[in-house]
Amino acid sequence: MINTAILQSETLARKAQRILTANGYPSELVRFTSPKEGCRFGLKIIGKSEEIQDILRKADIPVRYFGNERDRL
């Protein structure tokens, strides 16, 4: 499952990326732009969404949005 996590800053996204990689979840840093919210950074991650969210929560990394392909159906 491909998951998307949008974070508050590029710095936080890179920190989350290091933590997820250390836990066996490699990810891709992605820049999102929105007319209303401007530039945001996030990660594309392949894996079980519950486990990924748990890792980020335990690392005290605030996530603005978390979703996966299934959410779009």
pLDDT at 12: 95
Domain that holds residue 31: 2-72
Tokens for 67, please give them: 């979703």
Q: Could you tell me which residues come within 8 angstroms of residue 59 by beta carbon, excluding any fewer than 6 positions away?
A: 15, 16, 19
Specify whether the CB–CB gap between 20 and 28 falls below 8 A: no
Confidence of residue 32 (pLDDT cuts 50, 70, 90): confident
d(CA 6, CA 16): 10
Q: DSSP class of residue 70?
A: G
Confidence of residue 33 (pLDDT cuts 50, 70, 90): confident
The CATH number of residue 34's host domain is 3.30.70.260
Q: How many domains would you assign to the chain?
A: 1
